[in-house]
A and B are shown apart, each in its own frame.
Chain A
Amino acid sequence: MTIDSLISPEVKEVIKQINQLHLELTEVVGKGPYSQQEELDWLHYFNEREKDIKALLK
């Protein structure tokens, strides 16, 4: 009985999104530095992404 069969599609989606977020963050940070406004814009963008993922974990 494979253990990954325990992970529901819903949890798999959360994992996928967190890993995607991690990759995007790494890429964006690597392309810095940014102006103060650009940094704030990116932070706002990633905070919104986090909120969406948190909602999936509820």
Chain B
Amino acid sequence: MTLSELRTSILSIPSDDELAAYALEQNPDEATKLNIQQQRQGKLKTGADIVPKYRPLTYFIKNQEGKENRWVTLFDTGSFQSKMYLVIKGATFTMNSDDFKTSKLIAKYTADIFGLTDENKATFMRLYGRRSIVRLISSITKIGTV
């Protein structure tokens, strides 16, 4: 291989934003599942608890149904979470849901019910995103392919 050939095989890499968007686009369901898990654990994207907590009646009903009632999970029938999806807009990303209850839930618990905590962002990249990015880097340079 000559120097010129080597140069054409090693291209510059897209920006961090483009790489991150690529990682998300390649793994939208995985990112959304992490958001659902986070909600089931009663956490907002900030890491804070989803509040207000369940009222006594809801607490009682959930207890009767054998559902989690110690914190807000946003889970009852599963419709809201099954209709969740990833949204990438420019240099930002979040999730949303097509379920009719979405705007009510946002009004009650804030829009921070959507999105990932720092811990889950790291989990997403460790389990899914990094692999996609390394593949992309390998496909546009020969680095990482050997």
Contact = CB atoms under 8 A, between A and B. Distances in A.
A57 B23 contact: no
B56 interface: no
Contact of B2 (A19, A26, A39): A39
Interface residues of B, number: 41
Interface of B: 1-4, 6-7, 10-13, 15-17, 19-21, 23-24, 45, 88, 91-94, 115-116, 118, 121-122, 124-125, 129-130, 133-134, 137-138, 141, 143-144, 146
Contact of A21 (B10, B93, B129): B10
Which 9 interchain pairs have the tightest Cβ spacing?
A3-B20, A4-B16, A25-B7, A6-B20, A57-B144, A1-B115, A7-B16, A22-B12, A15-B13
B21 to A, nearest CB: 5
Contacts of B138: 57
10 contacts: A2-B91, A6-B121, A6-B125, A7-B133, A12-B16, A18-B12, A19-B12, A32-B4, A43-B3, A57-B138
Contacts, number: 99
Contact of B19 (A11, A26, A39): A11
A3 B3 contact: no
